[in-house]
Each structure stands twice: as C-alpha cells, then as structure tokens.
Structure 1
Amino acid sequence: MELSHRSAQLLHLAAQGLAKRVTRRARKADVLTAISRMGMLQIDTISVVARSPYMVLFSRLGAYRTEWLDESLADGLLAECWAHEACFVPAQDYRFHRDYRSGRAGHWAHKNALRVHAEARGDMDALIDRIRKEGPLRAADFERESTGTKGWWGWKPEKRWLEAWFALGDLMVARRDRFQRVYDLAERVTARWPEPPPADSLDESAVRRHFILRSVAALGIARARWIADYYRLRPRVTDEELASLVAEGSLIEVAVTGWSDRAYVHREHAGSLADAARNGLRATRTVLLSPFDPVVWDRARALELFGFEYTIECYTPAPRRKYGYYALPILHRGRLVGRLDAKAHRQEGFFQVLGVWLEEGVVLSPALVGDLAEALHECAAWHGTPRIVIEKGQPRGLAGLLREALAD
C-alpha cells in the first residue's frame, strides 16, 4: 500500500485528534481520552499563554475546564512519571513506565536522582520517613530560610530530594495544589486508584513492545527512526525489530511517496489507513499548538513530515530570538503554516499577539485569515482575555487583515 505525503500528514493528525473541528462541548472524560490517544501529556510550567499540558488539551478539545486535568490525576485516572519527559500518562499504562528500568536508567532525571541520593542519603531518608508518617506533602511544606540553591532550577534541597525520590519511583504525585505537586509514597498513591497496577514486574521486552506499539498508534504513521523518541526508548528502533510486529499483524507496513524507507501504521488505524490510501482524509481544524505538543516536540520529525523547522526560543537570549519568547505553531487545515508569539494578560483581560509569521510560500487567503482569527478568538476567550491586540505580522498586511477579521 502506498500513500501520498499529504495523506501521511493527515493520518498523523487524525491519530493525534487534530484533524477535525470540535463539534461539541468538551466533557471531563475527554481529558483521559485525549491523553490515552496521545499516550502521554508532557508537563512544562511556562505560563506565558497557558501551561503546556493545558494548551495541548485545548488544541484538541476546545474550551474545557482546566481543573478536569487535576481532578483526573487526583481520582487515579492519570499518573505522573518520566516518559518522553515529565508527563501525565493514563493510570493503566503506569506499570509499563514503572518497569522500564533500562531506559529510565539512562535518563538525565534518573542520573541526577542517583547523584543526589548518593550525596544526601540521610536527608532523603528522613524526608521520605516524614511523608510516611504525616501523609502527602508539598515542597512548600518544608520550610527553610534560604529558598534558593544551585542545581535543578534553583530549587531548595527538599524540592530536589522530593524530585529525586519521584524519579527513582519511591514517591509519586498524589494530586496537584495550584499546579504544585503533592507527593506521597508510591504504594499509597496506586492503592487509591480505581484499578491499582499489578505488583508483579513486567519483562522489559514486553515493556518495549508495548511502548513501540503505543508510539506507532499515537503517531498514526511512523518511520522506524521516529519511534524511539516518543517514549525515550533505548536502543533505537529499527526496521528489523519491527518485522516481527508486521508479521503478526500488529503493525501494517506502508510506503509513502518520496520516502526512501518504509513506514508503519498500527492495526487499530486500519480504517483510517484505507481512507488515506484513497485520499479520503480531510483536515478542517485551525488551532494554535503548544511548543511541547507531540506534533512538534520531535523537531526532526516535524521537519520531515510537515517541512516545518521549529525551535522554541524561550531558552535563547532575547537579542538572538527570531520569533519571540514562546512562539506557538499554527496548524491550519492539516498544515503547519506559521507561528504566533503571544502573551495572555489575565488581570487586564487582553490577549497580546506580539507577532505572527506565516511560512514562506503560504498564501495569505481570506480562508486562512478567517480561520486564524476564529482560532485566536477561541483561544483568547478560553484564557479569559477576550480583547485581542495584534502588534505585527508577516507578510505585510497580515496584522491588519487579522484586526479586521477579529472586529467583524
């Protein structure tokens, strides 16, 4: 079976839940459904617009209540762990993350945790003993006169110790309090879940197989070299390794026009694959994406699949930034057509668009302007910042056209 490059793009977006317009109001259960579809939801704390996990869900669900994510964690439907990076994952998948020992051993967070534990074993043991006796605690519950220290983001020692125990698996996040983690013993957290994970450990080959299949399902279509990044698998995934999954029918091997290597589709997407093969997939959604959205977090994949070269510049010195501190990719009807640097001023009630840039070759059509204005209006309203200010745009005339469209 051979697909066009365009059909491969649409198959990916359909699997991610980003192809079609939202046609109904979001429900609380949609949060778990969306995260299960992606396999995970990466956590980042930058809140210039919205914190990344909330923004990723908004891109898929439209206007929803952000507390549903926190409630799903507290209710034991989700867990926090190290996956791609620090992520929310479906609780039913937690055992695979818990038992993925070899991969996590090479992760920077696990290495840091081992180093911190070696340096402060007595203090860390005393900290976890306090949680054992007192119950769930936040970093803020450990008072200290000097709050800053060198190391992980200037965290105080107790925060670093909590995070080290979290990376090592002894502590888990029971819930969040205004986005602050509330830590408890891992066995107490999972015991409160509606369906606690089995205590027996999985063989690592079974864990790897699970993550490979979950990655391909989440990506919709995948080249072998794309797969390992999704769950940070080690070693990299090869075509030879995938051959047995194709032979048993778990994966479907396909060709994509212009690709020299083969691609893979999970059997659960067989219906969408058939639609893609006859060019029957369509994309109608226009939306802003988080810089940590699965569609763009693998920069090499985004470039290969969409021709979209993307770098988040919040870690770049201001004089060297090209697009701004926190530029959001613009997804328009199945294509990544530009980026938008924005800031939500919640107290003042306005949504500041510092700049919006279209990719070279993108036609500035009335449909694009109208869809982008609608996406901006929807995003700003969800933030509680209904007044939108457009400062500049590229190509010339874009900012004015957006202002006119927003005024209608």
Structure 2
Amino acid sequence: MSITTHSNETIRNVILHCQELSNSGNHTPTLENITSVVSKIRALQIDTLQMVKRSHFLALWSRIGTYDDNLLNELAYGNNRKFFEYWYHAACIIPVEEFAYRIPAMKKHFRKETKRWRNWPNEKNNAKVINETLNKIKLEGPMKASDFNDTKYTPGSWWNWKPSKRALEYLNDSGMTVVVDRINFQRVYGLTELNIPEKFRDTNYTDQDCLNHDLEMSLKATGICRPSQVGNYTHTKQGLSNPIVEEMIRSGRAVEITGLDKSKKEIGLLIHKDNLHLLELAQDGVLNADRTTFLSPFDNIFWAKGRDKEIFSFTQVLECYKPKNQRKWGYFCLPILYKGTLIGRFDPKLDRKTGTMIIRSMHLEPDVIPDEQMLFEVAKSMREFLSFHDANSITFENAGNGEFRNLLQKAL
C-alpha cells in the first residue's frame, strides 16, 4: 500500500487522462487519431436513443471535438475496418483485435449454453430458420432483417422479433456473422470470415485468458477505481473479477494506492502499473484536466459504478425511462465536464427539421458558482456541440437554473 495519499484532484486528473478527456481538444479528427482514442478507452457504447446524435458518436466527440461521422463509420464498417460491433460493457464498437477475446463467449452462444440462447434455437423450426438465414447471406451477400420476408410468425415477448431477425442475432452472437454496415441504424450482417482478418479468428484463448485480458485492459482504461469496480467496465460479475484482481495485485500489475474522495476521506484505490507515472505527472502539475466538453449519459467515464459520486461528487442518472413527473433533471441529460469537474447537466433535443437545438433544461450542481471563464468555456463547447449537429440555432426552455441559462444565452 502506498504511503502517499493522493489528492482528489490528482485522482480525477489521472482518470480523465486515461479516458482521453483531459486535454484541450488537440486531437485532429483523422482516422489514425480516432483509432488511437478508441483503442485506449476500448469501447464506444451504442444505444438507440437519439435526442441528439447517438451515444457512440457523442462519446467520440467529447474526446476529439467536431468530426465527420463517416470517419467512425469507415473504421467500424469499411473494408479496412479497425473496429467491430459486439458485446463489451453493453453493445459497443470495439477494436477489431478484441474479436479474438470474444471467441470463447461466441462459442458458448453457439452451443446454446447462455441464458440468452438456451431455448429459442432449439424450439420447433428455429434451427431451420437459422440455417436458411445463414445460407441466404452466403448466397446473396450482406443482409439486414428487413430483407427477409417471414410470412408466418407469432409476435412474442422477446422484443416481438420475427424469426429471421432472431436468427440474425443468434448468428452474430455466435460469431458466424458481423455487422458490416448500418442503414438508418438497422444492422447489416455479413459473413465473419469475409470481414474479420484470420489472425483475429484463428486463436485458442480460453475463458480464463479472456477474463484476464478484459480486466487488465479495463483497469488501464478506467484509470483509477476501487478494486470492486474493475469488472464494471466489461460488466464482469464480481465473483469472476475479484480473484483475478487479487492476482493482479499480487503480481504487481495492479497497484494499491490511497486517495481522497470528494469529501476528503481516504479511500483504497487501484491503478495499473503502466499508469503509475501519471500520478507523479498529475502531482507535479504537468498532467491537467483542462478540457471542457459534454458527455453522453452512456459515456465510459461512468462505467465504474459509484465512482462518479465518490470521486467527482456527481450522480449520473438517465431519466428517460422515468415518468415525466418523476424526473429531476430531464429526459436525456448530458453531463457538463469543466476542467476536471462535473459542474452540471442539460437536456438537449435536436429538431432535425428546423436545425434548432432545444435546451429543455439546464442545471448546475449545488456548489457550483459560475464565473466568466466557466461561461466562456461552456459557451465555446456549446457552439462546437451545435456545429457537430449542424444546428443553425439554439433555444432555451425555462426548466432548471435560470441564472446560468440566461448568462449562457448572452455568452453565446
């Protein structure tokens, strides 16, 4: 255990650096830089909600600023792909080399050993549907669910999917197909052997190999967290993650440190040995979290459960699934990151017909007092946010912090 107690600011600066959220936006939006950012943070979570741009586009924007969506699409779905879609923290875009470490999970799906696929593939006619779906892709090339015409199916409780759509998901989970494109967000599936390099398909990693890999990469990307939070990055259950984390500590790959939470209480934390030098840089003032940006509610920074409150004194809550009268902040609030601190959140909605960004509510955290520099930086980020969405105007509704809202309107 380190005898040094690291300040809360030091802890936050290291976390944000590991998450590519510490700089002033010096990343040029090139294919190479996008590849580098995603490789470092390991994943971009995909979600269906689109009050503004979808989560995976937002998470990348938070780190590199305004860029062309087609760059990310090219890297995920192009002929020379660097990423692919699969389960990670949730449904995510992840580096293509991660395919090798997903194979044991894919094999379990194929053998119908997972809860998700234990029953349906064995039900009447479903094996036939799976084979016919795969053969159709082999004969006709990449296909999406709407390319299939199921004349007879009974809507069920499993998302009401028709049989061929469920077969497509089974084939994808099992590693026989991959998503090769998205058309209006609908997945297009192609054969894995034609789209994933053989060097990532021809591997013999065991379940244990993959768990070890996932947790080590998780700790590197997470930056600093409690031991119990390491597995959160890949949704690994603690019963599986705890023994591996303990072994990482014994081997020296994970290092125990002491840091201060936001209330200045000492807490035990972990950092990967490869990131230890960042603590010294942060302590010396070389590593500063000077970026101001807005975050997706699904951003990787929030994957370590409870760390937002403990380290950043901020509770991230997605309220879109709550009844309107039970929402405290708004439907789809984006947290505001200002120079290492989460200072508030706002609820945006893009009117795509008029090009108007509607800010339905704007909230600051209780202890935040805005000054000219904060207003300048938040206004600058808001203008970049509008540019990223091709919005030509912005309107503010009256919910939330009226004083800050009015000041921000003037600053814009």
Say whether the fold is shared (TM-score over 0.5): yes
Taking the TM superposition and a 5 Å limit, the aligned residue runs for 1:293-332 are 293-332=299-338
CA distance in 2, matches of 1:8, 1:301: 11
**2:220 aligned to which of 217, 222, 245:** 217
Residue matched to 2:366: 360
Report the alpha carbon displacement of residue 27 of structure 1 after superposing the two structures with TM: 0.9
Gaps of 5+ in 2: none
Contact 1:364–1:398 (Cα < 8 Å) also in 2: yes
CA distance in 2, matches of 1:162, 1:100: 17
Residue matched to 1:372: 378
Residue matched to 1:115: 119
**2:185 aligned to which of 161, 166, 179:** 179
Distance 1:143 1:101, change over 3 A: closer
- The amino acid across from 2:13 in the alignment is L
Which of structure 1's runs of 4+ aligned residues deviate more than 6 A? 145-148
Report the alpha carbon displacement of residue 238 of structure 1 after superposing the two structures with TM: 6.3
- Secondary structure at 2:293 match in 1: strand
- The amino acid across from 1:84 in the alignment is H
Report the alpha carbon displacement of residue 168 of structure 1 after superposing the two structures with TM: 2.6
Distance 1:175 1:159, change over 3 A: same
Report the alpha carbon displacement of residue 100 of structure 1 after superposing the two structures with TM: 4.1
CA distance in 1, matches of 2:199, 2:144: 23
Residue matched to 1:47: 50
Provide Cα deviations, 1:158-203, integer angstroms capped at 9, x if missing partner: 222211222232222123334321112323322xx3x631513212
- The amino acid across from 1:15 in the alignment is C
Residue matched to 2:354: 348
CA distance in 2, matches of 1:319, 1:336: 25
**2:274 aligned to which of 255, 268, 271:** 268
CA distance in 1, matches of 2:380, 2:152: 47
- Secondary structure at 1:197 match in 2: helix
Contact 1:299–1:309 (Cα < 8 Å) also in 2: no
Taking the TM superposition and a 5 Å limit, the aligned residue runs for 1:2-401 are 2-23=5-26, 25-73=28-76, 74=78, 75-100=80-105, 110-119=114-123, 120-144=126-150, 149-190=155-196, 193=197, 196-236=199-239, 241-258=244-261, 262-278=268-284, 280-392=286-398, 394-401=400-407
Provide Cα deviations, 1:93-134, integer angstroms capped at 9, x if missing partner: 2111222479x77xxx95233332123222222212211222
CA distance in 1, matches of 2:285, 2:105: 39
Contact 2:225–2:304 (Cα < 8 Å) also in 1: no
Distance 1:208 1:400, change over 3 A: same
- Secondary structure at 1:255 match in 2: strand
> TM-score, normalized by length of structure 2?
0.89
Distance 1:260 1:113, change over 3 A: farther
Provide Cα deviations, 1:269-315, integer angstroms capped at 9, x if missing partner: 23312213445431211111111101124452222221211221111
Report the alpha carbon displacement of residue 146 of structure 1 after superposing the two structures with TM: 8.8
Report the alpha carbon displacement of residue 147 of structure 1 after superposing the two structures with TM: 9.9
* Identical-residue share of aligned pairs (%): 28
Distance 1:358 1:396, change over 3 A: same
Aligned pair count reads 400
